[in-house]
Structures are given as structure tokens and as C-alpha cells.
Amino acid sequence: MKISLSTVLLVLAVLFYSVAARAALPFAVPGQGELPSLADMLEGVNPAVVNIATYTTVKVSNPLLDDPFFRRFFNVPRNVPRSRRTQSAGSGVVVDAAKGYIVTNNHVVERADEITVHLADGRALQAEMIGRDPQVDLAVLRVDAEDLVQLEFADSTGVRVGDFVVAIGNPFGLNQTVTSGIVSALGRSGLGIEGYEDFIQTDAPINPGNSGGALVDLRGDLVGINTAILAPTGGNVGIGFAIPANMVAAILDELIEKGEVRRGIIGITVQALNNELAQAFDVDRRDGVVVVDVEPNSAAAAAGLVAGDVISRVGDRNVRKISDFHSQAAVMFIGDEVDIEIIRNGRKRDITLELTENTQQQVAGRRIDPRLAGAEFENFWNQDDGQSSGVLATYVDPQGKSYAYGLRAGDVIVGANRRTVRDIAEFREVLGLDSRLIRLRVYRNGRFGDVLVR
């Protein structure tokens, strides 16, 4: 019996279709119950995610309005408004229903004069600012309301690449928008988005307005706070970032208790461990961070840390790379006692580090960053106005690196890497976060300028 080629192709097509039909999720299966859905979980989670509307007064500068001739020629009245009202939107998550606490991103509310929280049930509430942490980009608000719904925190150390997650927020002002995806990567850092970076990366679509919203697991527990997207075109391209829930919980407690985050200064300079350093310090491992300098009279010096120590664990977190160390430093506050595991001379040791407030008034530039060698700094306070502060360069060696980059004695450093610097402690902290390129904002001879240190 001869079978035509068309018959064979038809049979193969039928078989392929039947296999594909069994593999695909059908629209309906009569008599076999409901299809898988996230609807039940979301019914309990959505009410805890809120829309945040902020109102900000922005000063309007127009040189023509300051010109007396222009005002007189065009008869411009003196009471012309010099400011305008702007509005923006973001998202937030209720984390304590009884006390009305809501967590969101700092950049959503940092310049707001007025903050209004819109709940899923339609209520609009005025919010009180409790505290902000610009370094991690978190803020805590409080509202006075009953019948709030809160989210429970997941243990973000248990999150794995490939876990299913759901992002909930208000992108483009579209309330209660839900998107889903997976965890794409963990421990993302070095992006230059925030000071302390330890992001959960997800491909769940996140767009402008999602900032401060919830990233939850399939149980509806809070895995992270959505904070940023990588979007060359301005829209979602499947690369979003969230602050891990464990970091959020630690910062939340500090902000509620004290209204601000006061991190302790450890007083060490660390470097990623590599093959050469491992051999030099007789360490039988290739991951971790090695101490290359210890600040005199610092918390690290008091605890007994010395150059050459390899830090393998800080608190409950294993340290395998620089980002692990800096992420743990984000939740180490003044007054904390932290257990640290080190490797010295091939043997493991445990030490306890007590974090104290940094009251250092003077410091050599090389202690802050090797590229600042040859300069000496001290805290600066302008007694004339009682407000201006910064870091004064008291000496700059004409043969040193700092001088070559343009720093001069008498310069007052008021900012670094687009962050305000008010004293040596803040200067050290900012440069410790990201010093690939140091951009100093300095005040010199009555003018502000920038000094780039590469």
C-alpha cells in the first residue's frame, strides 16, 4: 500500500497539534475545576498597596523679572508669582495596619510639601513623613486610618533566581496594576542608582509610577520594594530592581524609632579577594573581601582587625564579594554589636565589632581614598551664618595626586558624587559607596565648582 507524502504530513501535523494541545494551558476544561490563578492571593494583597500623590512648590527663576528696567518698561507688577505647584505620583505599601505605617521610596516623597495617600477602597488620606533614608532610597509615612490591610515580610535571603514574583503598583497613575515574572538575578550592585545597592532583579514589568510598590511572592508576602528600572527607551524592557525585604525591615525599624538612619563607621578599607591576594595572605579560598587598611582609633581598630584579615561573614550574612560587605554595612547602625568572622594566617576567628559614632575632626586624604593622597581634611563650620558646613582641605601637597586633579588648600567640599557632604563622616561614607569616579563639589573664592578625581 502506497502512502502519499501529503498524507504523512497530515498525520504528523495532527500528532504535533495533539501534543501541543496537551502541553498548553487550555482556556477551559469542563468538569476539571478552575484554572490556576493568582486572583485569590491578589484579593488579599492589593488593598495593602497604595497610590501616593505628592505636591511640591518649585521656585521659578527668571532673570528678566529681576531686571528693574525690564519690569518698568513692560509694567510688570511686583507681586508676580515666583513659584509653581507640581504634582507627581508613586506607590507605597502598608506594613503596619494598626499604626498606619507605609513604606515607599525616598525619591517619591523627598521634596514633597504635601503627601496624599489613596487607598484601594477609594479613601484619600493626608500622610505624615516619619523618616527618610536617601542612601537606600526608602521612606516611611504614617496615616491615621482604620481598616487598613498590611503585607507580611518574606525572608528575602531565601529568594532564589527563578522564583515567581508579582509586582503591584500604580504605573503612569493606573491604580492597582499587577504584573508578573520571575527573579532574574540577586545581589545586583554597582548600578549607580542608590548609595547602598543589593537589588533583586526581576523581569516583572515595572514602569514609572511603580516606585515604592510591592514585589511579592506567590504567597502574597513582601519580597521587596520596587525602586528602579533599567530603561534606555524610557519604558519597561524587562529589567527592574527591588530593595530586598530584609533590608527594608531593618531600615523601617530604624526610621520609626529614630526618624533617621545613623550608620556606624567601621573604619576599614576593603578589597575583593583574588588569587594573588589569597596566596599572599595564605587563604584557601577565592571569595571574600580582604582588609587593606584600618583607620586608627576606629571601631575596626578597637575590635582588633588588621590589614590582611579576610572577612568571610558579617552578622548572619556570608561575604563573598564587595557588594555583600557594603549591603550588610547598610543595616549596621550606631550602637550595634556585630559578630564578624575573619580568616587570619589561615585560621578562622570570630570578633565582635561595636559600632560607635564617628566624631573624627581631621583625616589624611589617603585614609578616605588613595587618590586623595597628599591632602589633609578637617570638618568645616561657617560661624558667620551658623548653617554652612562641609569638609575643608587644610593642606594639599603640590606634588600629590589631589593637587594634580585640581584640589587646592582652602577648598570647602560640600558635595561628592551628587550627594551632600556635611562632615568627614559623610564624605567617607559617600566615597565608600561608589568611588569609580569622584566628583567633588567645592566652594572656592566665593564660587562653586567641580573637581574630578579619576
Residue 8: φ, ψ to 5°:
-60, -45
* pTM of the full structure: 0.71
- Give the pLDDT score at 24: 40
> What is the CATH number that goes with domain 362-453?
2.30.42.10
Rounded-to-integer distance, Cα 141 and Cα 430, Å: 25
CATH class entry, domain 268-354: mainly beta
Q: What is 45-142's CATH number?
A: 2.40.10.10
Contact 19, 13 (CB under 8 A): no
What pLDDT does residue 387 have? 56
Looking at the annotation, which residues are catalytic?
Answer: 107, 137, 211
Q: What pLDDT is recorded for position 26?
A: 46
Q: Which pLDDT belongs to residue 56? A: 82
pLDDT at 296: 78
Supply the DSSP symbol for 146.
S
Q: Where in the chain is the domain with CATH 2.30.42.10?
A: 268-354, 362-453
pLDDT of residue 229: 74
Provide the H-helix boundaries in 293-435.
299-303, 322-329, 365-368, 401-405, 424-433
Architecture of domain 156-258: Beta Barrel (2.40)
Q: What is the pLDDT of residue 81?
A: 56
The span from the CA of 125 to the CA of 114, in Å, is: 11
Series of mean pLDDT values for 10-residue runs along the chain (454 residues) = 50 43 43 73 92 81 61 62 74 94 92 89 92 89 93 92 92 82 86 75 86 92 87 68 93 90 81 80 78 83 89 87 81 88 87 78 81 88 66 90 90 89 83 77 89 88
Residue-level pLDDT at 260: 82
Please give the torsion angle defined by the CA atoms of residues 284, 286, 298 and 389, in that order, rounded to the nearest 10 degrees: 170
Can you give the pLDDT at residue 307?
87
pLDDT for 22: 36
Furthest-apart CA atoms within the chain: distance in Å: 107
CATH 2.40.10.10 residue ranges for the chain: 45-142, 156-258
DSSP secondary structure string, 111-135?
A: T-SEEEEE-TTS-EEE-EEEEEETT
Q: Determine the pLDDT at residue 218.
A: 93
Asked if 263 and 230 count as a contact pair (C-beta separation under 8 A), the reply is: no
